[in-house]
A and B are shown apart, each in its own frame.
Chain A
């Protein structure tokens, strides 16, 4: 990870830097009248890890599902652009998108117990993308599935291949889920709250495992998290989302050390630190999707809000190497 952090500013400085692996531009997602994602801008370079941070309902998981193409028209209406390896994803035919899913883009679900089919063995589920995308023969699939299980730290993989999900512990199930997502060495790994359904004792192990595999495969990853501190710890960059918009995005260390957006500050001060008695909850709650404020969506809860905030939406400005959407960046 250190290596990737060091690379990021360098890549930004050099004009001949490689194009981003993933580029999200002015991306909006509407479900009927409700604007679930509003003008999202992001770039992810090869080998980079990005954390999407925010409260539940901020649109983090929606963005992840939209990236892997599981939320598309006619179910929802998309605007703007999602470019992956130079391909415009929003225009992609379903059959072509399917070739990316589980192959070039992998997705780890929050709750492995629910995301593994109870009627199929874990070996079958790991082998599925190997058959679909790589066309491996039955015995090659078994060998590769066992190797994948070994690589995600499942002991005695040969025996566990024929186990059903319910025969494994929650931690082991999540390891299987990771093996499924990584089966075809994806260039982009999406992880939707990969540890929040697990016991605290194994959360760190699983997080470490995912980072370890991402580095080993030299993939890029997007983590959906609700914990700002955890996000800053595991990701190179952080994008803080609020009510379907990105309010602040930049290198993790700087966002965490000196947050510029009032919401990021609020998130930071919500974290209980050992020995400190300072716990400042953000007042109020996220507005419902059908009653979003016209201006800044955070304005009704913002301690610094002025008249302009509730009238006009602040555009993201580049400030200190990050994009911040606020009228009053000091």
Chain B
């Protein structure tokens, strides 16, 4: 058990190291010289060399990487050229919670809508319910989220005026106002996930319901709803969690679009603004944070498997 977990952790650390190296290389390869940017337009060669030395940029690249990594681990991510803000504070304390809240709410919506839709489609296979559910699922999956976002803003924000059009209120400061502002973005981002979850639920449940243990549960006198929701869905959870974990990349990608469309100050918005301002140091923080998030979710999914599937538990 301990050996397996430590092996997994070592693997995770290796992935993180590769992400950090790539992210460091990105900064090095980016056009523009940080020293000349910091010095402005008028400077002498002596002051240029002095600053280069002070910043440690005259040292071997491996050493520079090591120092940068050490600073990163310590939480010293540098300062924004433009706002003069500490980047760790900007990315981790301000942007990350917004993105996580948006993602969590979208996932919740997707699960609440997607799972029952998938179950209904499986139970009434090849009926009009199935056709409708499958059409909605594929539609939600295929519809670009930025376009859906604009339509939702126009319909529910501008035309009907039910929801705020843009902006963000932190739910941890004002819960209801925060939720209110997040409804449209979460629906936009969740719509894409709904289709995915519904389709996986449908196909997995159909496969599970054909298993002998389902017939055996019926032969014990279990009522139909329990057979589906307990005996059946318990076995659908594993493929479902796998897909949710694997599609996290899509979720983050969608979050960037959604945050820009709804002007939410999340990670996606942060990175987009940074790219437009050519603030590579902030982009780099975004890359690292996204990588960390990805690895963390995959680790969590792996651990969830053991919890969900007794066959994978080690004794």
Which A residues lie at the B interface, using CB under 8 A? 65, 68, 70, 98-103, 106-107, 109, 111, 114-121, 125, 128-129, 132-133, 164, 166, 177, 180
Contacts and interface: CB of A to CB of B under 8 A. Distances in A.
B220 A101 contact: yes
A81 B197 CA distance: 45
Contact of A101 (B211, B213, B221): B221
B50 interface: no
B310 interface: yes
Contact of A117 (B219, B221, B231): B231
Interface residues of B, number: 19
A117 B220 contact: no
Contact of A98 (B221, B231, B235, B309): B221
14 contacts: A101-B218, A101-B221, A102-B219, A102-B222, A109-B215, A109-B219, A114-B213, A115-B213, A117-B234, A118-B311, A120-B231, A128-B217, A132-B221, A166-B311
Interface in B291-315: 308-311
Given A98-B221, A101-B221, A107-B216, 5 more contacts: A102-B219, A111-B212, A119-B235, A132-B220, A180-B216
A157 B120 CA distance: 39
Interface in B66-106: none
B310 A103 contact: no
A114 B211 contact: yes
A119 B232 CA distance: 10
A117 B218 contact: no
B223 interface: yes
Given A103-B221, A128-B222, A133-B221, A118 B216 contact: no
Interface of B: 211-213, 215-223, 231, 234-235, 308-311
A117 B213 contact: yes
- 6 closest Cβ contacts across the A-B interface? A102-B220, A102-B221, A101-B221, A164-B310, A114-B212, A115-B216
A190 to B, nearest CB: 9
Contact of B219 (A70, A133, A166): A70
Contacts of B310: 118-119, 121, 164, 166
B301 to A, nearest CB: 17
A111 B212 CA distance: 8
B174 to A, nearest CB: 41
A128 B235 contact: no
Contacts of B220: 101-102, 125, 128-129, 132, 180
Given A118-B235, A118-B311, A132 B215 contact: no
B212 A164 contact: no
A125 B231 CA distance: 10
A99 B221 contact: yes
B126 to A, nearest CB: 14
B218 A70 contact: yes
A232 to B, nearest CB: 27
Given A70-B215, A109-B216, A111-B212, A119 B221 contact: no
A203 to B, nearest CB: 19
Contact of B309 (A99, A103, A119): A119
Contacts of A111: 212
Contacts of A177: 216
Nearest to B312: A166
A121 B311 CA distance: 11
Contacts of B231: 117, 120
Contacts of B216: 107, 109, 115-117, 177, 180
Contacts of A121: 310
Contacts of A100: 221
Contacts of A68: 219
Contacts of A101: 218-221
Contacts of B212: 109, 111, 114-115
A301 B296 CA distance: 66
A118 B213 contact: yes
A22 B212 CA distance: 25
A164 B308 CA distance: 12
Nearest to B216: A115
A80 to B, nearest CB: 22
Contact of B217 (A99, A106, A114, A117): A117
A79 B315 CA distance: 52
Nearest to B223: A98
A323 B310 CA distance: 50
Contacts of B222: 98, 102, 128, 132
Contacts of A99: 221
A99 B218 CA distance: 11
B213 A129 contact: no
A76 to B, nearest CB: 14
Contacts of A180: 216, 220
A148 to B, nearest CB: 13
A114 B231 CA distance: 13
Nearest to A98: B221
Nearest to B311: A166
Nearest to B213: A117
B26 to A, nearest CB: 44
Contacts of A114: 211-213
Given A100-B221, A129-B220, A115 B309 contact: no
A120 B219 CA distance: 16
Name, among A119, A121, A128, A177, the residue most crowded by chain B CB atoms within 10 Å (CB to CB): A119
A109 B217 CA distance: 11
A122 to B, nearest CB: 11
Contacts of B311: 118, 164, 166
Contacts of A129: 220-221
Which of B220, B222, B234, B311 has the most CB atoms of chain A within a 10 A radius of its CB? Answer: B220
